[in-house]
Chain A
Amino acid sequence: MSHSTSTFDSLQLKNVGRSFGGQDALVGLNLTIRQGEFIALLGPSGCGKSTALNCIAGLLPLTHGEILIDAERVDLLPAERRDFGMVFQNYALFPHLTVEKNIAFGLQMRKVPKPEIKRRVAEAIALVKLEQHATKLPGQLSGGQQQRVAIARAVVVEPRLVLMDEPLSNLDAKLRLEMRTEIRRLHLALGLTTLYVTHDQEEALSMADRLVVLREGRVQQIGTPEELHNSPANAHVADFMGYRNLIDLTVTAVDGSAVTIGDHALSLRGTACEPVAVGARVRAAIRPEDLLVVPPTASARGDNTVSATVTVVEYHGREFAVGVTTATGRSLHVRSDHPPVVGSTVELTADPARVLVFPSEAIDLDSLSVDERELAEVRQ
Chain B
Amino acid sequence: MSRGQTTKSTASLRHRLAERGIDSSLLMLVPALIFAVALFIYPFSYGIGLTFQPSAATQAQWGTSIFANYIAFFNDPFIFDSIWLTMRLALPVALFNVVVAVPVAFKLRHKFVGKKFLTILLVLPITLGTVLTAQGLLIFAGRQGWLNRFLLDIGLIDAPLALVNNYLGVVFSLIISGFPFAFLLISSYLSGIDPSIEAAAKTMGADWLQRFRRVILPLLAPGLATTFILTFVLAFSVFPSARLVGDAMGSTRVMALMAFRAFGEQNDYPMASTIAIMMGLVELVVIAVVLVWRSFMYKGSTGGKG
Interface set of A (CB-CB < 8 Å, partner B) = 57-59, 78-86, 88, 90, 92-96, 105-106, 109-110, 137, 139, 153-154, 157, 163
Contact = CB atoms under 8 A, between A and B. Distances in A.
B218 A86 contact: no
Given A59-B199, A109-B210, A95 B301 contact: yes
A285 B129 CA distance: 71
Contacts of B200: 86, 88, 92-94, 153
B205 A92 contact: no
A352 B210 CA distance: 62
Contacts of B218: 96
A94 B206 CA distance: 13
Interface in B270-306: 297-298, 300-303
A96 B204 contact: no
Nearest to A139: B300
Contact of A96 (B194, B207, B219): B219
A372 B200 CA distance: 44
B126 interface: no
Contacts of A58: 202-203
A82 B298 CA distance: 30
A83 B210 CA distance: 16
A84 B202 CA distance: 10
A172 to B, nearest CB: 20
Contacts of B219: 95-96
26 contacts: A58-B202, A59-B203, A78-B202, A79-B199, A80-B205, A81-B205, A84-B203, A85-B203, A86-B200, A88-B196, A88-B199, A90-B194, A90-B196, A92-B197, A92-B200, A94-B215, A95-B197, A95-B219, A105-B206, A105-B214, A106-B205, A109-B205, A139-B301, A153-B204, A154-B203, A157-B205
B202 to A, nearest CB: 4
B4 to A, nearest CB: 26
A182 B205 CA distance: 25
Interface string B87-131: 000000000000000000000000000000000000000000000
A92 B215 CA distance: 11
Most chain A CB within 10 A, of B197, B207, B297, B302, is at B197
A275 B218 CA distance: 63
B298 A83 contact: no
Given A94-B197, A95-B197, A96-B219, A106 B303 contact: no
A110 B205 contact: yes
A95 B199 contact: no
Interface in B201-228: 201-207, 210, 214-215, 218-219
B248 to A, nearest CB: 46
Given A92-B194, A92-B303, A96-B218, A80 B202 contact: yes
Most chain A CB within 10 A, of B199, B201, B205, B298, is at B205
A105 B204 contact: yes
A59 B207 CA distance: 13
Nearest to B207: A80
A95 B204 CA distance: 16
Interface string B144-162: 0000000000000000000
A78 B199 CA distance: 12
Nearest to A105: B204
Given A81-B205, A96-B298, A139-B300, 13 more contacts: A59-B199, A80-B204, A83-B205, A86-B199, A86-B200, A88-B199, A92-B194, A92-B197, A95-B219, A95-B303, A96-B300, A109-B206, A110-B205
Contacts of B298: 95-96
A254 B262 CA distance: 106
A307 B298 CA distance: 67
Contacts of A153: 200, 204
B166 to A, nearest CB: 43
Contacts of B196: 88, 90, 92
Given A88-B199, A105-B214, A95 B302 contact: yes
A17 B61 CA distance: 84
Contacts of A106: 204-205
A110 B207 CA distance: 11
Contacts of B214: 105
Most chain B CB within 10 A, of A80, A88, A106, A163, is at A80
Contacts of B207: 80
Contacts of B204: 80, 85, 105-106, 109, 153, 157
A80 B197 contact: no
A84 B206 CA distance: 12
Contacts of B297: 96
A81 B210 CA distance: 13
A109 to B, nearest CB: 4
A58 B202 CA distance: 9
Closest 3 CB pairs of A and B: A96-B298, A106-B204, A109-B205
A81 B201 CA distance: 12
A92 to B, nearest CB: 4
A85 B197 CA distance: 13
Contact of A95 (B203, B206, B210, B300): B300
A80 B206 contact: yes
B203 A79 contact: yes
Nearest to B203: A86
B304 to A, nearest CB: 10
Contact of A137 (B199, B205, B300, B302): B300
A333 to B, nearest CB: 37
A80 B209 CA distance: 12
B201 A94 contact: yes
Contacts of A92: 194, 196-197, 199-200, 303
Contacts of A83: 205
A285 B214 CA distance: 53
A152 to B, nearest CB: 12
A199 to B, nearest CB: 18
Nearest to B218: A96
A57 B218 CA distance: 25
A185 B5 CA distance: 47
